[in-house]
Amino acid sequence: MRRTGRLQLIAYGIVAAVVMLMPVVTWPGLISEPAPAAAAPVPDHDRGPTEAEIAAYQKSFDGYCLSVEDVLDTGAHAVVHDDPTRESLLIKWGREQGVKGLEGPIPLSRRRQALDLVYREVRRRYLPQATLAEDAPDAGVKVVVGKPRVVMWAPEGKTADIAGEKYRLRHLGGSVAAEGRWGQYMFPQISRIRGGMLVVQVYVGGDSPGGRNYLYYVSDDMGKTWQHYTVYDNTDERPASEIALRLLDGEELRGPLDRDYASIDGAGLNLKTYGGMVRLGDLPREKQGIPIYTRKPGQTDWTRETARWDPDLLVEGKLPSPIQTSEAHAIHLRDGSLVTAVWRQAVMADIRPDGTLNKEGENHQIWRSYDRGRTWKCAGTIPCLRWCPEFPHPPADPSVRAHLLAFPNGTWVAAYRSQGLCYSSGGPLIVSSTADEGKTWSKPKAIRVPGCNPLGVVLPNGIAALSYQRPGVFLTFCADGKGERWGNDVTLVKAWRHQRNENSCCNGSFVVTGPDRFVYAYTKWDVPDAWGQARQAVIAQEFIVSRKTVGLRSGPEPRDRAGLRRTKQQNQGKRPAGTKGGG
């Protein structure tokens, strides 16, 4: 039986060999032509990402930012919108610079790792001094952090799926699409009005405050408790009418309540234009100013006046108000003058000989008033900078906004918001200083990542506080009177890797409440209410700061050879075997 089976197998093999050697004969209608070879599968990197791949890529951004690279690359925004062009430019640049690990095609599954390699190289070249808040050095400042006090919860609340892109905005009459990222309750502006009461003004709407869409909350115990104060459409009502800039002698100034600018109607005027803008001095005089309201100490009624800008100011459609009610915006100098850095302005000095507008300095004009805020002249320009001067893509954009601080010794410090590598979020916080009132400036340096919307104050004790954010919200401090050493940072809202999970509108404000203290107002999304529901909230928090006498740390937390931050446990590691402790 075994022999028969063996012979059958041999016969089958002979037949199969003969068939394979025979020419192929086709009979029309009976045997079909052989099917063409199947097309080779499309390589992973040559097709668009699938929904599953996008979800997996977004998942790689879950959790807190643990390194500067995490913050620089704050989200999968381009991939989510099926437009990885800018990320591809970063990878292309990395290849041109010879960064290892970027060879060959890079599918979506490896894009996160490839971008991390690029960001490490960018950090090595351009951000050697920039750190995260938790790696900040000791600047010799003792910070006492007060309890966060809820000013308000957003009506109907807002919750975010922090691990993804889904948001819920339950606001009756509101638009989910209008502000799916930051919510409908934003820009908390905290002020101290006559009599000592604190007021927080909260804007209700999208990302551009204006009109009369505000809520007001008041506190008569320095921010420990808050209550809603109903204000209708009458601009003379308190406390809305009481929010003002207070000068050193007690006189108060405030701009229009309904908006921070005046619209300019140039209809029927034949005006010369410069890059689409017109010179303010070419307009009729009645259109060259913006209304402000003033009140002397002891007076109850406000007097309407007109504040006027430098006639060489170039304007386009609207004229901004020089009077910002936040204490952080207008600075009192030793000679009694006021100085401020106004965003998105340009003067005739920015016009090139060919008549085109040089926008390099557009965002960084310094304006000064010697007559108590009635007229404002351009006093100089904060130097425009590019924190990646050799990078040919988005980081080459100039800085976005500059905020000014003035120390008692006469030093001014400009804190810049800059663009990120791919997005407006995630760029570094940059500082530059001047000792001659803006004539010359120090070389700008990046000190933190991120650096969006910096705002700060210098307290009467000479210590400066500066906020920076997006992603997250943080405070940093300086006690050297020069703005050179910043540290002892405090984290108010943690930074998430996913760009859209900013967890805050990232537009807070300061009010000084004593020689060594201030209250900072900001927004935070995931504050639990009395029922445990995470809701968007406005927070007010007190900080008391003073100088330390001992214990200065020389620099940021130690890092290993790979550039990774060492943990406190690693820094306190066990002593090598066989060694003895020293004295």
Q: In order of start, what are the domains of the chain with their CATH numbers?
A: 48-126 (no CATH), 133-245+252-277+288-549 (2.120.10.10)
- Please report, as a single letter, which amino acid is at residue 361: G
Number of Cβ within 10 Å of residue 348's Cβ equals: 15
Residues 136-165 have a mean pLDDT of 75
So what's the pLDDT on residue 370? Answer: 95
**Contact at 8 Å (CB) between 403 and 415?**
yes
**Calpha distance 159→534 (Å, rounded):** 6
**DSSP assignment letter at 109:** G
- DSSP lists the bridge partners of residue 289 as 308
Cβ atoms of 192 and 175 closer than 8 Å:
no
- End-to-end, the C-alpha distance of the chain in Å comes to 91
The most distant pair of C-alpha atoms in the chain lies apart, rounded to whole Å, by 123
**121-145 pLDDT, tens digit each:** 999 988 999 999 999 999 999 999 9
Can you spell out the DSSP letters for 457-476? EE-TTS-EEEEEESSSEEEE
pLDDT band at 580 (very low <50, low <70, confident <90, very high): very low
The pLDDT assigned to 171 comes to: 30
* Of 130, 27, 2, residue with least CA distance to 486: 130
- Average the pLDDT over 416-439 and give the result: 85
Please report which confidence band the pLDDT of residue 231 belongs to, taking 50, 70 and 90 as the band edges.
low
Strands 429-434 and 445-448: antiparallel
Mean pLDDT of the chain: 77
Give the range among 154-168, 220-234, 281-295, 426-440 with minimum mean pLDDT: 154-168
Is residue 433 within 8 Å of 483, Cβ to Cβ?
yes
Q: How confident is the model at residue 5 (pLDDT cuts 50, 70, 90)?
A: low
Per-residue pLDDT of 58-88, as tens digits, reads: 788 888 889 999 888 876 666 666 566 778 8
Torsion angle of C-alpha atoms 423, 429, 430, 435, degrees rounded to 10: 140
| The pLDDT value given to residue 463 | 98
Residue 261, number of CB atoms within 10 A of its CB? 15
Read off the DSSP letter of residue 393. Answer: S
d(CA 408, CA 413): 12
Segment 406-411 shows an average pLDDT of 94
pLDDT recorded at residue 379: 86
Q: Are 57 and 82 within 8 A, CB to CB?
A: no
Q: 348 pLDDT band (50/70/90 cuts)?
A: confident
